[in-house]
Amino acid sequence: MTMENTWAICPVCGKSNSCQIDQVNLGGTCWCFGILVDQEKLELILGNKAKDQCLCRDCLGKLSV
């Protein structure tokens, strides 16, 4: 994995996060925007991992409220 594509990887499980906002076209929308997340659980699961990378559907689903 290169530094150029780490944004496309879920920081929790290492799978593709299927982010629909690419690094060139910032400001678009993504599948994750409609998912409500428990912020405390999110902080707990991320710990000291990158917080500027999107989670995959499976990991984000575990945090939804």
Query: What are 3-62's pLDDT values in tens digits?
Result: 556 778 898 999 999 888 765 566 677 888 888 989 898 888 888 877 778 899 999 998
Give residue 29's region: left, alpha or beta (phi > 0; psi -120 to 50).
Answer: beta
pLDDT at 4: 55
pLDDT at 49: 79
Q: What is this structure's pTM? A: 0.73
pLDDT at 13: 92
- pLDDT classification of 1: cutoffs 50, 70, 90: very low
**From the centroid of its chain, how far is CA 53?**
5
Determine the 3-state secondary structure of 61 from DSSP. Answer: helix
